[in-house]
Amino acid sequence: MHPAPSIVVFTVFSGLGLGMVFWAGLGAGPDHGAARWWIAVLALGFSAVGGLASTRHLARPDRAWRAFSQWRSSWLSREACLMVAALGAFAIYAAGWTLGGVRVAALGWIAAGLALATVYATAMIYAQLRTVPRWSLTPTPQMFLVFAGVGGFLGVQAAAALAGAEVAAGWALPGLVLAAGVAVWWQTEAAGAGRRSAGSDIGTATGLGRLGRVRLFEPPHTGSNYLLDEMAYRVGRRRAYQVRLVAAWLGFLVPLGLALLALAFGGWLMVPALIAHVAGMLALRWLFFAEAEHVQAFYYGLR
Amino acid sequence: MTSLPEKVERKMGLVIDLDTCVGCHACAVSCKEWNTQGYGAPLSDQDPYGADPTGTWLNRIHSFEIEPEDAPAQIVHFPKSCLHCDDAPCVTVCPTGASYKRVEDGIVLVNEDACMGCGLCAWACPYGARELDRAEGVMKKCTLCVDRIYNDNIPEEDRVPACVRSCPAGARHFGDLSDPGSAVSEMVRARGGMDLMAEQGTRPVNKYLPPRIRDRHATAPDTLRLADLAEPEAKGFLGWLDRALERLG
């Protein structure tokens, strides 16, 4: 699949922003003048960056408003509705918190629940596609939720550090250890998942497999087309191992080291920890698309 | 509404005979010709006369080679367009309500005025039947020539999809696949009509008739030993010459 920058930025930053909404909604982060502002503004800001990036992927963004209509059947539509609901609830919660200094716990929990549901819906856009075994046969929703949770926690701590407030770096450690474990698993197990198949091959795609070995003799056209540029697009698969390694280090191991150091040298280290984590997540999400193989490619003798 | 209908009244679709298709691409050309001028946005081309031409087509003709274990290889021409699936995954993923499946004839269509060009339906389709038009920014797909098949303004023999009308080999057939007595259903039964990628669970309406098993004659060339034929072992004088030349290095 073609790793469009718009979707990579969208899923990483909306995951980060909604992760911050989740933790801030549950009451994480220091209840302190400037920290409230930093947390609220960064959470909404990251989510907005992600949301805006997603419209860059549309050929007709002027019709994006129609995406709120099909929540009964479409995960993409559900995601759009949940995103607006989560950010709306959090905006009210954040207004009360920053302007009035009051944390309305019930409203925060609602925003947190909606944020989790939004990340789940985002993941299901990919996980529902049987045509892409890489996404439907691996625990895509679990990965998206874990990564959003870790990013959100780091985001809240970094925002607190920027405000000069007390940082709960120690609390980041278990989350980071858990996520690093997931990343290491990803490194070893999921490396093969990209090649996993739902039983489709060029033989079932053409129905000719029972007659003998099938190969493409002549493609339908000499140039490229939308299908090849989008679904059968191949880039960087040869370097997948290295990209995943860099992503595991930047995304989890470097932030883990920085969080440990923050216990001794001060909370400001959570800011570079967040930056490293986001860089790692961008690499990992790019790979999520670049490694994914679509069954349509069988018709072109590819995979 | 992008939920699939619980039941369709008819299942209009195509039966494509892989035994008869000669791979002439006439169906693809007439499809492009008809559908670029009638229903919805035209099927655009980008850089059509330049070095890197691309374009939107609703029907594309692949050619495959089958290599049986014990017989010569065989070429199969393979037209591919929308299969108008019963469980069309492209319809349910649509966030805007642009994609839908009609109750009256089971045809899967796109309301181009509501499409925002997100491309998710093309991701959901296992067959590559949907292409985003790069000029108009909306999803294009086979309409089963919905503007021909019910069109009273054209002669009756033309009220079939353009691809069916233009096929010089009679490899494409149009009809109601929900009616067990229809000519297309007959054909599917007689020839073992098959679903493409049945394991994807899309339950396509269009069926493909597999190529018939070819006669096998004892005198047929054995493709497995073509390499031997290219360099026959020389005997007699030629054999002596061959060995002598080899000695020269």
Parallel, antiparallel or unpaired: strands B12-17 and B207-209: parallel
For residue range A268-300, what is the model confidence (pLDDT) as tens digits?
Answer: 999 999 999 999 999 999 988 998 899 999 999
Residue B164: pLDDT over 60: yes
State the pLDDT at residue A18.
Answer: 98
- Strand, coil or helix: B203: coil
Contact B31, B162 (CB under 8 A): yes
- Strand, coil or helix: B17: strand
* pLDDT, mean of residues A167-189: 71
Least confident range of A30-34, A107-111, B132-136: A30-34
Contact call for A215 and B64, based on CB within 8 A: yes
Report which secondary-structure segment, H or E, holds B67: strand B60-67
Torsion region of B42: left, alpha or beta (phi above 0 gives left; psi -120 to 50 gives alpha)? beta
Alpha-carbon distance of A3 to B131, in angstroms, equals: 18
State the pLDDT at residue B89.
Answer: 96
If pLDDT is split at 50, 70 and 90, which confidence band does B225 have? Answer: low
Contact B16, B79 (CB under 8 A): yes
Q: Which of A156-165, B30-39, B115-124 has the highest mean pLDDT?
A: B115-124
State the pLDDT at residue A31.
Answer: 87
Alpha-carbon distance of A200 to A131, in angstroms, equals: 9
Among the partner residues B56, B97, B127, nearest to A69 by beta-carbon distance? B97
Contact call for B200 and A295, based on CB within 8 A: yes
Classify burial at B98, counting beta carbons within 10 Å of its beta carbon; exposed 0-12, middle 13-18, buried 19 or more.
buried
* pLDDT, mean of residues A221-237: 89
Chain B nearest CA to A204, separation (Å):
5
- DSSP E strand stretches across chain A: 213-218
If pLDDT is split at 50, 70 and 90, which confidence band does A68 have? Answer: very high
Report which secondary-structure segment, H or E, holds B63: strand B60-67
Structure token digits, residue A74 = 């479409």
Structure token digits, residue A36 = 């409230």
**Which candidate, A151, A117, A130, places its Cα nearest to that of A46?**
A151
Report the percentage of chain B scoring pLDDT > 70: 94
Report the percentage of chain A scoring pLDDT > 90: 66
- Strand, coil or helix: B109: strand
- Strand, coil or helix: A255: helix
Least confident range of A193-202, B109-118, B141-150: A193-202
**Which candidate, A42, A48, A12, A45, places its Cα nearest to that of A29?**
A42
Contact call for B94 and A206, based on CB within 8 A: no
Report which secondary-structure segment, H or E, holds B66: strand B60-67
Alpha-carbon distance of B87 to B90, in angstroms, equals: 9
Report which secondary-structure segment, H or E, holds B12: strand B12-17
Residue A50: pLDDT over 60: yes
Least confident range of B62-71, B164-173, B217-226: B217-226
Nearest CA in chain B to A300: B62
* pLDDT, mean of residues A14-31: 94
Q: In sequence order, what are the residues at sequence separation of 6 or more whose Cβ sits closer than 8 angstroms to the Cβ of residue A166?
A: A30, A32, A160, A267
In our burial notation (b when 16+ CB lie closer than 10 A, e otherwise), range A287-299 reads bbbbbbbbbbbbb
Q: What is the DSSP string of A198-253?
A: SS--HHHHHS-GGGSEEEEEE-S-SS--HHHHHTS---SGGGHHHHHHHHHIIIII
Backbone torsions φ then ψ of A232, nearest 5 degrees: -100, 20
State the pLDDT at residue B243.
Answer: 84
Average pLDDT, chain A: 90
Among the partner residues A64, A69, A224, nearest to B54 by beta-carbon distance? A224
State the pLDDT at residue B231.
Answer: 67
Alpha-carbon distance of B222 to B72, in angstroms, equals: 7
Alpha-carbon distance of B122 to A229, in angstroms, equals: 12
State the pLDDT at residue B227.
Answer: 59
For residue range A141-160, what is the model confidence (pLDDT) as tens digits?
Answer: 988 998 999 999 999 999 99
- DSSP E strand stretches across B105-239: 108-110, 131-132, 139-140, 172-176, 207-209
Alpha-carbon distance of B92 to A72, in angstroms, equals: 9
Sheet of strand B12-17, all strands in order from the earlier edge strand to the far edge: B172-176, B12-17, B207-209
Q: End-to-end CA distance of chain B, in Å?
A: 78
* pLDDT, mean of residues A203-216: 95
Residue A193: pLDDT over 60: no
Contact call for B128 and A299, based on CB within 8 A: yes
Residue A151 CA: distances (Å) to CA of A39, A107, A117, A274, A279: 13, 22, 16, 7, 11
Mutate to test the interface with B, among A55, A70, A228 (most CBs of B within 10 A): A70
Model ipTM value: 0.92
Among the partner residues B1, B53, B208, nearest to A223 by beta-carbon distance? B53
Mutate to test the interface with A, among B78, B188, B206 (most CBs of A within 10 A): B78
Instruction: Please state the separation of Cα A271 from the chain's center in Å.
Output: 20
Alpha-carbon distance of A132 to A196, in angstroms, equals: 10
Contact call for B116 and A67, based on CB within 8 A: yes
Backbone torsions φ then ψ of A276, nearest 5 degrees: -60, -45
Structure token digits, residue A39 = 């947390």
Dihedral angle at the C-alpha atoms of B123, B129, B135, B136, nearest 10 degrees?
-80
Mutate to test the interface with A, among B49, B66, B131 (most CBs of A within 10 A): B66
* pLDDT, mean of residues A126-149: 90
State the pLDDT at residue A177.
Answer: 72
State the pLDDT at residue A3.
Answer: 93
State the pLDDT at residue A194.
Answer: 57
Q: How many CA within 13 A on the CB side of residue A161? A: 22
Report the percentage of chain A scoring pLDDT > 70: 95
